Amino acid sequence: MDSFGNDIFAERETLFVEVILPLSLAINYTYRVPFDLNDQVAIGKRVVVQFGKHKIYTALISAISKNPPGVYEAKYLIDIIDSEPIVTPTQLKFWSWMTNYYMCNEGDVMSAALPASLKLASETILVLRDDFTDEILLTEKEEIIISALKKQEKLTVNDVSKLLGQKTIYPIINHLLEKELILVAEEVVQKYKPLLKSFVTLNDFYTDEENLKELFNVLEKAPKQLDALLAYLKLQKLNLPISKEQLLEESNCGVSALKSLTDKEIFKVMKRPVSRLANHDEEFSVNFQLNPGQQTALKLINQSFEEKDVVLLHGVTASGKTQVYIKLIEEIIQNTDGQVLFLLPEIALTTQIVERIKHYFGNAIGVYHSKFNNSERVEIWNKVRTGAYKVILGARSAVFLPFQHLKLIVVDEEHEPSYKQYDPAPRYQARDASIYLAHLHQAKVILGSATPSLESYYNALQGKYGLVEMKERFGGVQLPNQQVVSIAEETKRKTMVSYFSSVLIKDIDLALSKKEQVVLFQNRRGYATILICATCGYTPKCVNCDVSLTYHKSSGKLHCHYCGFQ
- Specify whether the backbone of 160 is left (phi greater than 0), alpha (psi in -120 to 50) or beta: alpha
pLDDT of residue 267: 86
Whole-angstrom Cα distance, residue 176 to residue 158? 17
Question: Who wins on pLDDT, 386 or 183?
Answer: 386
Contact 563, 542 (CB under 8 A): yes
What's this model's pTM, rounded to 2 decimal places? 0.73
Please report the pLDDT score of residue 556 as a whole number: 85
Distance, in Å, from the CA atom of 457 to the CA atom of 415, rounded to the nearest integer, reads 10
Average pLDDT of span 166-188: 81
pLDDT of residue 7: 43
Q: Per-residue pLDDT tens for 502-548?
A: 999 999 999 999 999 999 887 677 888 888 886 777 888 888 777 88
Same fold, 16-118 and 122-188: no
Question: What's the confidence (pLDDT) of residue 285?
Answer: 59
Please name which of 84, 273, 83 lies closest in space to residue 194, comparing C-alpha atoms: 273
Task: In whole angstroms, give the CA distance from residue 327 to residue 216.
Answer: 56
* Summary mean pLDDT of the chain: 86
Distance of CA 372 to the CA centre of its chain: 6
Q: What confidence tier does 3 reach under pLDDT thresholds 50, 70, 90?
A: very low
Mean pLDDT of 141-147: 90
CA atoms of 437 and 445, how far apart (whole Å): 10
Per-residue pLDDT averaged across 356-365, rounded?
Answer: 81
Q: Which one, of 249, 231, 244, 232, lies nearest residue 274 by Cα?
A: 244
Read off the pLDDT band of 274 (50, 70, 90): low
**pLDDT value, residue 279:** 62
Nearest to 367 by CA among 398, 336, 408: 398
Taking the C-alpha atoms of residue 85 and residue 386, their distance in angstroms, rounded to an integer, is: 11
> What is the pLDDT, as a whole number, of residue 398?
95
**What is the per-residue DSSP string for 504-545?**
HHHHHHHHHHTT-----PPPP-SSBS----TTT----B-TTT
Q: Tell me what percent of the residues of the chain surpass a pLDDT of 90.
A: 42
**Cα separation values, 15 from 20, 22, 33, 82, Å:** 17, 22, 5, 18
Alpha-carbon dihedral sign for residues 351, 357, 361, 364: negative
Instruction: Between 297 and 223, name the one with better pLDDT.
Output: 297
Q: Is the pLDDT of residue 490 over 50?
A: yes
Q: What is the model's pLDDT at position 308?
A: 96
User: Which of 223-232, 284-293, 379-388 is predicted with the least confidence, judged by mean pLDDT?
Assistant: 284-293
User: What is the rounded distance in angstroms from the CA atom of residue 377 to the CA atom of residue 373?
Assistant: 6
What is the per-residue DSSP string for 145-207?
Answer: HHHHHHHSS-EEHHHHHHHHT-S--HHHHHHHHHTT-EEEEEEE-----PEEEEEEEE-GGGG
Q: Is the pLDDT of residue 86 over 50?
A: yes
First to last CA, the chain: 72
User: ∠ CA 461-465-471 to the nearest 5 degrees?
Assistant: 65
Q: Which pLDDT does position 302 carry in this prediction?
A: 96
Question: Tell me, which fold does domain 16-118 have in CATH?
Answer: GIY-YIG endonuclease (3.40.1440)
Is pLDDT of 286 > 80? no
**Predicted pLDDT at 192:** 61
Q: Report whether the peptide linkage leading into residue 273 is cis, meaning its omega lies within 30 degrees of zero.
A: no
Element (H, E) at 297: helix 292-305
- Other beta carbons within 10 angstroms of residue 35's beta carbon come to 12
The CATH code belonging to domain 122-188 is: 1.10.10
> Which of 437 and 537 is assigned the larger pLDDT?
437
pLDDT exceeds cutoff 80 at 170: no
CB atoms within 10 A of CB 209: 8
Q: Which of 5-14, 89-98, 252-261, 500-509 has the lowest mean pLDDT?
A: 5-14
Which whole number is the average pLDDT over 113-139?
83
pLDDT value, residue 100: 97
User: Do the Cβ atoms of 88 and 44 come closer than 8 Å?
Assistant: yes
- Give whichever of 160-169, 371-380, 395-404, 552-561 has the largest mean pLDDT: 395-404
Range 73-100 average pLDDT:
95
Question: pLDDT tens across 205-234, in order?
Answer: 888 888 888 888 888 888 888 888 888 888
The pLDDT of 490-512, averaged and rounded, is 90
CATH fit for domain 292-468, picks 3.30.300.20, 3.40.47.10, 3.20.10.10, 3.40.50.300 = 3.40.50.300
pLDDT of residue 249: 81
Looking at 413-488, which runs of residues are DSSP E strands? 444-449, 466-470
CB neighbour list of residue 445: distance below 8 Å, 6 or more residues apart: 309, 310, 311, 408, 409, 410, 411, 434, 435, 438
Mean pLDDT of 80-86: 92
pLDDT at 185 over 50: yes
Percent of the chain topping pLDDT 70: 92
Residue ranges per structural domain of the chain: 16-118, 122-188, 204-265, 292-468
pLDDT category at 125 given cuts 50, 70, 90 is confident
pLDDT band at 277 (very low <50, low <70, confident <90, very high): low
